[in-house]
Chain A
Amino acid sequence: GQNIDQPTEMTATEGAIVQINCTYQTSGFNGLFWYQQHAGEAPTFLSYNVLDGLEEKGRFSSFLSRSKGYSYLLLKELQMKDSASYLCAVRADYKLSFGAGTTVTVRA
């Protein structure tokens, strides 16, 4: 299986920036995904990286370094609605494995 690590919790202030790190160990890497999950709701797709570098999508960006087994999700201009759990998922050999998730709390 995969070994995927991300912090359990993070707190930030409205309007600030938060970076959620994810490290992984795997063979047969085939892509890294970030999902957002609000309490009681479905995980929703945020971003996908398969090549090294930064993918930007509005206020959210995701970075990947395959050689380091490292990714981060950057949330800019935080809003209260961004309070949620953020799941890092690694696809290897066409199977998706998830980290335990990072709960982000945005304070006013």
Chain B
Amino acid sequence: ETGVTQTPRHLVMGMTNKKSLKCEQHLGHNAMYWYKQSAKKPLELMFVYSLEERVENNSVPSRFSPECPNSSHLFLHLHTLQPEDSALYLCASSQDGGGGRSIQYFGAGTRLSVL
């Protein structure tokens, strides 16, 4: 148990569906992250929120829309996805935005399949 919980763990959706991924951290951190992990490829940083403000948007298509209502919760809203978006989506949190010895703690991820 890392203190970062993601739901659902698995999601299958059609290209016309709208769904949301949820992440909750119980560590008292003030920064949260979304990553995409595809097979045999490095983790790709998608979004960073620090103190509930988006500070990084790594050229992610607009069909992915993040939301951070408070420092403990992070959502990723999905709509009109493509089959190549099928991947493991990981959420992470850290104390401060990445300075010093800041360590990111990860959730177990949502395995997304787009049909």
Contact = CB atoms under 8 A, between A and B. Distances in A.
Contact of A91 (B56, B98, B106): B98
Contact of B40 (A33, A35, A94, A100): A100
B42 A95 contact: no
A43 B98 contact: no
Contact of B108 (A33, A40, A45, A50): A40
Interface of A: 4, 8, 30-31, 33, 35, 40-45, 48, 50, 87, 89, 91, 94-101
19 contacts: A8-B40, A42-B108, A43-B106, A44-B2, A45-B103, A45-B105, A48-B101, A87-B43, A91-B98, A94-B97, A94-B98, A95-B45, A95-B98, A96-B98, A96-B104, A97-B42, A99-B42, A100-B41, A100-B42
